[in-house]
């Protein structure tokens, strides 16, 4: 581990002690990370006992741990050190010395990059914006995490050439250390081997299974030592290396109603594994002593996915936010295009703009939100926080939320400047050189579904509508009603998945009152342009979705073919009743057709016998 050489700082020893302040901040981080790991360590037991609601609850609560510990550390520094009496020169010298002391304390630390981010979070609450420079904060990392690892190591190695493939796979299953029985692990291992053979025959297993396939001297399987948990699944993450070539893999493990576990499938396509680690899904629970080692491993599997997204996906979203902003600043220095108003239909709630060379959009809440929207800034922010905390089931985009982001004014198009001044004047500061965004959401750029549908072939349109309906149904299963289901509020990702990204009208399904349209009392009611029945704030009439969504004949045909039930009261009410009854539906982060139960079926008698063996073991 290497340290950057800090500049010498002249310091008055009559002032507050820099090492003591640094220690108070580091103690705050250490408390945070110990609690973070404790939640991840509990996940294994909760999975084994099928305690899904506690699993989801702990994942949700963990998101707030970081901000809680930051507030505690800020309060500790303010309470124990007299900072208010310092003049500017004393304050400069103090905080340079605090940073130097903090770096020295990270020499043998296993999470130095996360500790630096915590330091920044605390100091930005204690210091004025003029201190937001590398002299006082970690704008650039101060400690290298290269070659860092935990003890024991972050991954285990297995050698099919020496052990035999099946023996190596069996040892992996044993080393997972589950306390509950397997349904039939030998059958599952045969399914894994059959899936590998299929991948080899089809040429779809990545470079490690390139034809002709022979066991090379370096053939080995690397498996991350700790399991990744999310919702009702446990995931074994690893890589198969052969002849210097690498195939990534992920194996989902599920639990049945009898408490037995089984391997559900083998994911080896980078696209499928990328979807597993998508920005549209909830964060994993995984115990990591050295998180940089896990992220480095994951980057060998997903080389095109930035480290910022991987840190976020393993639950370290604040570290992901730090890395994202460093990447953004790097891109700004190495590009010259202008920020522009995002193409597409303008929304009533947000001003959205983008940098064409950068695959993200920037969203700011407008100062005045016109009719017919009935909302305000605080409500909109609460909706985005709801999405941050909720299980996004692969259908809602995660966002990064920032304050006081500075953009070079010369890089902002005149049309964007005018848009910001007209609609977001209270949220910006503009001078000759810069534009400061007081509060902004940043999320990955997608093709708006309404634009995609305009230019789609018949086959592309049908698949997009099939995905759109699946997105709504999976959100409903996760207790989310989108509110405004217009196509402009959904986007199409690089992998052709449809994702929801406009959150100002979302509600919990359980807070929504689904109703049938009452029978008209008479002919005058039927002919009237006004409704003849009362409508409360949370009332929703699924029969009314049609006029807004089915105007295009091609769209109507595809929608009624795949998702006619979305326009019925029965569908929505049934989903709501399931949620109230505590039913947690399965939403798989991979195609159901890939499941071993769909591909490699066994006779019922064999399944029953295997289950009986599993219960006795």
DSSP-derived pairing of the beta strands 507-508 and 480-481: antiparallel
H helix or E strand, kind and range, residue 410: none
How far is it, in rounded angstroms, from Cα 328 to Cα 357? 11
| Tokens (6 digits) for 69 | 């510990």
Q: Which alpha helices (H) appear in 164-288, and where do they start and end?
A: 165-176, 185-202, 270-276
Residue 153's H or E segment, with its range, is none
What is the distance between the terminal CA atoms of the chain, rounded to a whole angstrom? Answer: 46
Cα–chain center distance at 513: 29
* Axis-axis angle for helices 112-126, 18-48 (nearest 10): 120
Per-position DSSP letters for 300-368, written without gaps between them: HH-TTS-HHHHHHHTT-HHHHHHHHHHHHHHHHHT--PPBEEPSSPPPSSEEEEE-TTSSEEEEEE-SS
Instruction: Check: CB of residue 433 under 8 Å from CB of residue 411.
Output: no
Query: 378-403 burial string, b = 16+ CB within 10 Å, else e?
Result: eebeebbeebbebbbbbbbbbbbebe
The residue among 45, 609, 515, 482 whose CA lies nearest residue 285 is 45
Residue 167 vs residues 173, 190, 361: alpha-carbon distances, Å: 10, 11, 49
Q: Which residues are catalytic?
A: 398
Tokens of 191: 């399914």
Q: How many residues does the chain have?
A: 617
Residue 404: φ, ψ to 5°: 55, 55
Buried b (16+ CB within 10 A) or exposed e, 518-529: eeeeeeeeeeee
Q: Confirm if 181 and 615 have CB atoms less than 8 A apart.
A: yes
Q: How far apart are CA 252 and CA 587, in angstroms?
A: 13
Eight-state DSSP code of residue 511? G
Assigned token pair, 98: 């605090």
438 exposure class (CB count in 10 Å sphere: 0-12, 13-18, 19+)? middle
């Amino acid at each position: 581990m290497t340290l950057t050489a800090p500049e010498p700082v002249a310091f008055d020893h009559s002032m507050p002690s820099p090492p003591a302040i640094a220690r108070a901040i580091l103690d705050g981080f250490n408390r945070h990370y110990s609690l973070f790991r404790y939640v991840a360590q509990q996940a294994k037991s909760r999975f084994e006992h099928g305690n899904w609601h506690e699993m989801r609850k702990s994942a949700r609560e963990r998101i707030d741990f970081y901000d809680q510990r930051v507030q505690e550390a800020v309060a500790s520094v303010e309470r124990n050190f007299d900072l208010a009496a310092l003049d500017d020169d004393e304050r400069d010298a103090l905080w340079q010395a605090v940073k130097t002391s903090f770096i020295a304390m990270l020499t043998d630390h296993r999470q130095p990059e996360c500790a630096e981010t915590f330091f920044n979070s605390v100091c930005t609450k204690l210091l004025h914006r003029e201190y937001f420079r590398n002299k006082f904060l970690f704008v650039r990392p101060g400690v290298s995490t290269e070659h860092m690892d935990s003890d024991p190591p972050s991954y285990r190695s297995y050698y099919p050439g020496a052990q035999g493939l099946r023996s190596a796979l069996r040892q992996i299953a044993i080393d997972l250390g589950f306390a509950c029985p397997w349904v039939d692990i030998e059958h599952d291992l045969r399914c894994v081997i059959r899936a590998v053979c299929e991948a080899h025959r089809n040429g779809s297993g990545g470079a490690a299974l390139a034809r002709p396939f022979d066991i090379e001297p370096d053939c080995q399987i690397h498996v991350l030592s700790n399991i990744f948990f999310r919702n009702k699944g446990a995931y074994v993450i690893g890589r198969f290396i052969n002849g210097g070539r690498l195939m990534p893999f992920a194996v989902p493990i599920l639990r049945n109603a009898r408490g037995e576990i089984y391997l559900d499938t083998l994911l080896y396509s980078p696209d499928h594994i990328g979807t597993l680690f998508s920005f549209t899904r909830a964060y994993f629970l995984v115990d990591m002593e050295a998180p940089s080692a896990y992220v480095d491993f994951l980057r060998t599997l997903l080389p095109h996915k930035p480290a910022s997204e991987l840190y976020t996906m393993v639950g370290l979203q604040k570290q992901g936010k730090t890395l994202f902003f460093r990447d953004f600043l790097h891109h700004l220095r190495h590009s010259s295009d202008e920020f522009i108003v995002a193409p597409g239909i303008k929304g009533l709630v947000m001003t959205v703009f983008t940098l064409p060379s950068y695959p993200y959009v920037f969203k700011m809440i407008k100062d005045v939100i016109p009719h017919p929207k009935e909302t305000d800034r605080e409500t909109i922010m609460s909706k985005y926080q709801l999405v941050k905390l909720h299980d996004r089931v692969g259908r809602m985009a995660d966002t990064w939320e920032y304050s006081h982001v500075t953009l070079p004014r010369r890089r902002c198009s005149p049309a964007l400047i005018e848009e910001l001044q007209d609609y977001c004047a209270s949220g910006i500061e503009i001078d000759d050189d810069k534009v400061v965004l007081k509060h902004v959401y940043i999320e990955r750029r997608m093709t708006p579904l309404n634009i995609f549908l305009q230019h789609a072939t018949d086959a592309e349109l049908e698949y997009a509508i099939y995905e759109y309906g699946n997105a709504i149904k999976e959100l409903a299963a996760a207790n989310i009603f989108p509110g405004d289901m217009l196509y402009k509020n959904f986007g199409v990702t690089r992998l052709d998945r449809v994702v929801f990204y406009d959150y100002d009208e979302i509600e919990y399904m359980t807070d929504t009152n689904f109703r049938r349209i009452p029978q008209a009392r008479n002919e005058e009611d039927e002919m009237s342009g006004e409704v003849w029945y009362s409508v409360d704030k949370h009332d929703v009439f699924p029969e009314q979705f049609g006029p807004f969504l089915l105007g295009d004949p091609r769209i109507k045909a595809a929608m009624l073919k795949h998702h006619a039930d979305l326009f019925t009261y029965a569908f929505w009410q049934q989903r709501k009743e399931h949620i109230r009854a505590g039913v947690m539906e399965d939403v798989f982060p991979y195609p159901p057709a890939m499941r071993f139960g769909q591909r490699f079926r066994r006779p019922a008698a064999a399944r029953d016998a295997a289950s009986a063996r599993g219960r006795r073991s």
